[in-house]
Amino acid sequence: MGRVGVVTLARGRHRHLARQHTSLAAGSRRPDAYVVVAMGDPDIEAADVDGLHRDVVHLPLTERLPLAKARNTGVAWLLDREVDVVVLLDVDCIAGPDLVTAYAAAVDEHPATVWLGPVTYLPPEADRLNPSEVAALDDPHPARPAPQPGERRTDATVDHFWSLSFALSAEAWQKVGGFCEEYDGYGGEDTDFARLVVAAGLDLGWEGSARAYHQHHPVSDPPVEHLADLVRHGALFYRRWGTWPMQGWFEALERTGHVVRDGDGWRRADDSA
């Protein structure tokens, strides 16, 4: 089994990042490389936790969070260090004890599949727990398949894909070509990536032992603070794929009066018709 690298993106969330680092250091297999792409956050520095080193690549922040570019930057950094398996893990995610082990085995055995892992959304009180204790709260997100530890499923669809936690081979990443950097900001870039995975002839699957635990933070549903990004990215996705993504969010934004229907998609309600 080859070298495994983990990449995460961060801006703020320093405590969440520290807890993620602790969880990876305590795992049944430590990553051979661990890099954080800091988006306009000079306070994030390289660090060592229990013998696991964390490198940092600093990416300047412009008007928007460059999520697609940041993921590509982090994976490129890992590939330069000759990793065979790439794991992308959201900064809010604490790694389950077997996450790296399970992803490495799944990719090694099925390198033409992009693997997803179940994610549990933790309640606020879980912030008081040590990272090693959160697995007792295991309760994967109900909107996604949730195979049991030791179980794999190959029935994932592009609508199931999320960028919170997934893994693939270095060769598969190169076939996909990474995230489309025309997405500059929040929303839609992960569904676009899933489309690219399928277009490259690769499969999507679930690895039940690659469990992660999403630390609590305040959210808006729908995420109205990202309205401009969502509308712009929805139109971009439509140009690329012929359909609008994030249908549930746009329908909710329509109900709240933030967007109105415009042909096959939506536009901001405060824009001129």
191 membership: H or E segment, kind and range: helix 189-199
Cβ atoms 251, 225 nearer than 8 A: no
Tokens matching residue 64: 């928007």
Task: Please give the Cα distance from 271 to 268 (Å, whole number).
Answer: 5
What pLDDT, on a 0 to 100 scale, did the predictor assign at position 170? 98
Predicted TM-score (pTM) of the model is: 0.95
Task: Please give the Cα distance from 223 to 234 (Å, whole number).
Answer: 14
Encode pLDDT of 131-188 as tens digits: 999 999 999 988 888 899 999 998 889 988 989 999 999 999 999 999 999 999 888 9
Tokens matching residue 46: 């390289």
Instruction: Specify the DSSP class assigned to residue 148.
Output: P
- C-alpha angle 31/115/58, rounded to 5°? 50
Q: Judge whether residue 63 has pLDDT over 90.
A: no
Encode pLDDT of 91-144 as tens digits: 999 999 999 999 999 999 999 999 999 999 999 999 999 999 999 999 998 888
For residue 225, give the amino acid letter.
E
Peptide bond into 222 cis (omega under 30): yes
Cβ atoms 211, 164 nearer than 8 A: no
What pLDDT, on a 0 to 100 scale, did the predictor assign at position 87? 98
Task: Please give the Cα distance from 195 to 193 (Å, whole number).
Answer: 5
Encode pLDDT of 214-245 as tens digits: 999 877 677 888 899 999 999 999 999 999 99
Instruction: Specify the DSSP class assigned to residue 63.
Output: S
- pLDDT band, very low/low/confident/very high, at 26 (cuts 50, 70, 90): very high
What pLDDT, on a 0 to 100 scale, did the predictor assign at position 165? 97
Q: Judge whether residue 273 has pLDDT over 60.
A: no
With pLDDT > 90 as the criterion, what percentage of the chain qualifies? 83
Mean pLDDT of 188-196: 96
Q: Judge whether residue 88 has pLDDT over 70.
A: yes
Task: Please give the Cα distance from 226 to 124 (Å, whole number).
Answer: 23
DSSP character string of 194-261: HHHHHHTT-EEEEETT--EEEPP----SS-GGGHHHHHHHHHHHHHHHSS-S-HHHHHHHHHTTSEEE
Residues 6+ apart with CB under 8 A from 176: 114, 168, 193, 196, 197, 200, 202
Tokens matching residue 223: 């995420």
Average pLDDT, the chain: 94
132 membership: H or E segment, kind and range: none
What pLDDT, on a 0 to 100 scale, did the predictor assign at position 58? 97
Residue 150: alpha-carbon gap to chain centroid? 22
Task: Please give the Cα distance from 252 to 150 (Å, whole number).
Answer: 37
Domain ranges of the chain: 4-214, 224-268
What pLDDT, on a 0 to 100 scale, did the predictor assign at position 155? 84
Residue 111: alpha-carbon gap to chain centroid? 19
Q: Kindly report which listed range (20-34, 47-61, 133-147) carries the lowest average pLDDT score.
A: 133-147
Task: Please give the Cα distance from 79 to 95 (Å, whole number).
Answer: 21
CATH of 4-214, one of 3.30.530.20, 3.90.1300.10, 3.90.550.10, 3.30.70.20: 3.90.550.10
